[in-house]
Structure 1
Amino acid sequence: MKNGYLFLLALCQACTAGAAEWTWSGFGTLGYAQSNQPYKYQRFIDDQGTFTRDSILGTQLDLKISPQWGATVQARLAPAEDHDTSWDATLSWAFVSWRPEDDWLVRVGKLRLPLMLNTENRDVGATYEFARLPVEVYSIAPTTDVIGLSISKTWMTGRFDWTLEAYTGEMETSVRYYGRERRLDSATHGSFFIDMDVRSTGLVLTARDIDNVFRVGVHEVDAQNKSGALHADLPFRSIAPGIGYYDVINTRLVDNVIIPVQTLGASVILPGDVKLTSEYARMRVSSASEGLSRWGAYLALSRQFGNWTPYVYYARMKSPDGVLEKYKAINGNRVPALPPPYSAAAINQSQKLAADILNPYDQWTGAMGTSFRLTPTSVLKAEWSHTESGVVSSFIDAPRGSDSANRHINVFSLSYSFTF
């Protein structure tokens, strides 16, 4: 990864020293969010309010070396993906592009994947109406960035421009867990992160005209734990008749996990200039974190009135029923007082951790909001959303001694996004 960044830096220095054309731009969002609950939702949001969840600052340099060759570097400052209290400066994009023909594009370097309709521009809040992209869909993929290769072909057939893009690459990423009673590596409760090496390969077809866009994609992710093997399951160990526990330590191990991901999206203009946007994503995980297997979808309606664009949406995310039943069995498993060498208190605490490692989701969100276009490059947004969890939601950091089931969370969001 570092070698790739050094290569791009050297390329940029060579280009700026020569006759290459370059343009510089920037973007950012200052976002505030506050809920009506004392516990954290989506890592940062609670009743104390936070600027951390939605705020971001970025800059981009585009180089045109020749009609066929170019390069793009985009850097951003945002909350760290592997820590809940720090910010990181990272490169979102850092690639070289080559157009052998007008309808072919080859990119090599760090790329953002063409997953959902707004994945590639998700950091640029001024490019979409929502105060926050629906987390039920936009959080599904294990990673949205890779260092690798992308090849795309574009052609026109009557009304639509079609683009078929194939990509492959790898990336380091982190998966967040929250231990209500204890963490995997500590007796204290709180969040912990497992670092992963991820390779992603996919094929995405997009059709668009002036007003409408459609996208479908199939992806395959190969994930490996950087610290060693992955837990394949959470086996039940019997201690006595009718008494036992789910083992979070001594489990079957695997070197990697293959995760298929499917995505589908559309944004169309209906009669009356109403815009309908709907997206769906699904992935399947076969490991101890099988709760990450889930589908997510949302349906949104919006309409522009001058500088105002009010919108409403409904979003849903759910793990398979079998996983939710397994979560309930683990989360509700308790053993009575036991003779040595067993400790009922330690075993019961470990059951909460085992349930948390399963990491399942079952929630829906309804939201209504509006954006107001202050200038062509800046927008003010306000949104109220209501989220309800069913059996469990791993977006919720439930207080000690409780769980995330049947929670009701109202969130008010206000943000200012700009580009320059």
Structure 2
Amino acid sequence: MSQKNAADMPIKIPNIGLLAVLAALALPAQAVDLTWSGFATAGLAFSDKPYTYQRFIDERGTFKRDSIFGAQLDARLSQQWSATVQAKVAPSDHSDSDWQASLAWAFVSWRPSDDWLFRAGKIRLPMMLNTENHDVGSTFDFARLPQEVYSMSPLTDIVGLGVSKTWFGESMDWIAEAYAGKVKTYWRYYGREMTPDQHSAGSWFLSYDFKSSGLVLTARSLDNTFRLGAHRVEITREGGKIGRPIVNLGGVYQFGDGGDEKVIVPLITAGASVMLPANVRLMGEYAWLKVDSSSEGLNRWGAYLSLSKRIGVWTPYVYYATAKSRDSALQKYQRINSNVVPAPYAASQKFMADIISPYDQSTAALGTSYRLTSSSLIKTEWSQVNTGVASSLVDAPSGGDSANKRINVFSMSYNVTF
């Protein structure tokens, strides 16, 4: 990172979430037990293609896709009260060229008894099995979490309230978690021929306001975990409507009239991690969401299934993942993408097709982690991505599209907590 970039790095601070934490830390120093910790991943990834996959990965190689650094401060105020602040440096969520320092967590916790927990501030959502720890690479063996599933949710944290209740059992604990809150975040689009601001290929980011609530049930034993969640997301955009339809007027696809002030997005998540005989771990997750917007391809489902086995300090694994938009969205993308119009309108038709944001891809991955110490590991992985109709995880090359691509991705990373 250059000195100029470091100086210009934006810092995102959720004022509401941080306020409660700062108030808690204002207690006399002798009353607060402070604990520092940190985590980091240095990751290299490259593919066998000149165009980019997952924002950064191409044949030139990149450290931006997986690298991250974070630090966490835990303040124990009493037996019932504590506060947590976690900051991280990672690639920006609204620029493909910048890095960004931000607060991932900033909340106060109250545990009146062993079975109840209340949190207020900026909290990570209990969605997929690894959503809450997805920044900490040393806590899972995959080189990166399967994006067919982990890119599904439009958000991973909120500023709000969370409550959980645990029922302790002899062989299995049951946990019910509920949350509600809001956050402003960005959604990335990529135009292979043009963007809203320029007649050339590139990405752009739109800011949205999210309100989210949900209920998640988890059953956990020493070896097994099962999770099921139902979430409701309300999306608005300041100064604009959401969901303007893309219509064919005179043979040219363009935005029509209409749209809504807000869009309601239902999201269903499910996952399981089970220990099989011979210490083989089976893990699978599924997510489904529905979005009524111009980007009809966001209506999709994603799933993966993996097998892994720890052999000494090695944990080899294999997984297969897939994601697919609903058929009507893929068919609409194909109609727009193949629409033949006079030259002045050609780029606009590719732009409209890209707005659909289609997903139709699968990934097969083979990798391993090597545990150096109890808090650090090295990971390597080869994965092959195959696209069908199109995939918005691929930045399609100008003059082409993302259909029927086969992309080999090679990854290596060092992951540590301290």
- TM-score in terms of structure 1 length: 0.95
The 1:121/1:406 distance shift into structure 2, 3 A limit, reads: same
For the Cα contact (< 8 Å) 2:115–2:166, is it kept in 1?
Answer: yes
Q: 1:406 aligns with which of 388, 404, 407?
A: 404
Q: Where does structure 2 lack aligned partners over 5 or more consecutive residues? A: 1-12
What is the 5 A alignment of 1:32-47? 32-47=44-59
Distance 1:16 1:197 in 2: 37
Distance 1:265 1:9 in 2: 32
Q: 1:350 aligns with which of 348, 351, 359?
A: 348
Answer yes or no: is 1:157 the counterpart of 2:169: yes
Paired position in structure 1 for 2:119: 107
Paired position in structure 2 for 1:252: 258
Deviations 1:93-151 (A, max 9, x none): 10000112221100000011000000000000000010100000000000001000001
Deviations 1:367-401 (A, max 9, x none): 00000000000000000000000000001111111
- 173-182 or 183-192: bigger deviation: 183-192
Paired position in structure 1 for 2:77: 65
Distance 1:10 1:230 in 2: 36
Paired position in structure 1 for 2:287: 281
How far 1:254 moved relative to its partner? 1.2
Residues paired across the two proteins, number: 406
How far 1:12 moved relative to its partner? 5.1
What is the 5 A alignment of 1:6-405? 6-8=18-20, 10-11=22-23, 13-15=25-27, 17-238=29-250, 244-248=251-255, 250-335=256-341, 344-405=342-403
Distance 2:407 2:366 in 1: 14
Paired position in structure 1 for 2:5: none
Distance 2:165 2:77 in 1: 21
Q: Which secondary structure state, in structure 1, belongs to the residue aligned with residue 149 of structure 2? A: helix
Percent identity over the alignment? Answer: 55
Q: Which secondary structure state, in structure 2, belongs to the residue aligned with residue 33 of structure 1? A: strand
For the Cα contact (< 8 Å) 1:15–1:63, is it kept in 2?
Answer: no
For the Cα contact (< 8 Å) 1:232–1:286, is it kept in 2?
Answer: no
How far 1:253 moved relative to its partner? 2.2
Coordinate RMSD, CA, aligned: 1.2
Distance 2:125 2:239 in 1: 26
Q: Which secondary structure state, in structure 2, belongs to the residue aligned with residue 230 of structure 1? A: coil
How far 1:4 moved relative to its partner? 1.7
How far 1:185 moved relative to its partner? 2.9
Q: What letter corresponds to residue 253 of structure 1 in structure 2?
A: G
- 227-236 or 404-413: bigger deviation: 227-236
Q: What letter corresponds to residue 294 of structure 2 in structure 1?
A: A
Distance 1:86 1:15 in 2: 37
Q: What letter corresponds to residue 278 of structure 2 in structure 1?
A: G
Deviations 1:60-100 (A, max 9, x none): 01111011111100000000111100010011110000112
Q: Which secondary structure state, in structure 1, belongs to the residue aligned with residue 203 of structure 2? A: strand
Distance 2:223 2:171 in 1: 11
Distance 2:316 2:85 in 1: 33
The 1:6/1:215 distance shift into structure 2, 3 A limit, reads: closer
How far 1:2 moved relative to its partner? 4.5
- TM-score in terms of structure 2 length: 0.95
The 1:316/1:2 distance shift into structure 2, 3 A limit, reads: closer
Distance 2:259 2:333 in 1: 20
Q: What letter corresponds to residue 81 of structure 2 in structure 1?
A: W
The 1:227/1:16 distance shift into structure 2, 3 A limit, reads: farther
Q: Which secondary structure state, in structure 1, belongs to the residue aligned with residue 366 of structure 2? A: strand
Paired position in structure 2 for 1:419: 417
Q: Which secondary structure state, in structure 1, belongs to the residue aligned with residue 168 of structure 2? A: strand
For the Cα contact (< 8 Å) 2:174–2:220, is it kept in 1?
Answer: yes
How far 1:364 moved relative to its partner? 0.2
Q: Which secondary structure state, in structure 2, belongs to the residue aligned with residue 142 of structure 1? A: coil
Q: Where does structure 1 lack aligned partners over 5 or more consecutive residues? A: 239-243, 336-343
Distance 2:32 2:172 in 1: 33
For the Cα contact (< 8 Å) 2:14–2:103, is it kept in 1?
Answer: no
Distance 1:19 1:111 in 2: 24
Q: What letter corresponds to residue 97 of structure 2 in structure 1?
A: T
Distance 1:417 1:348 in 2: 46
How far 1:284 moved relative to its partner? 0.6
For the Cα contact (< 8 Å) 2:104–2:122, is it kept in 1?
Answer: yes
The 1:227/1:51 distance shift into structure 2, 3 A limit, reads: farther
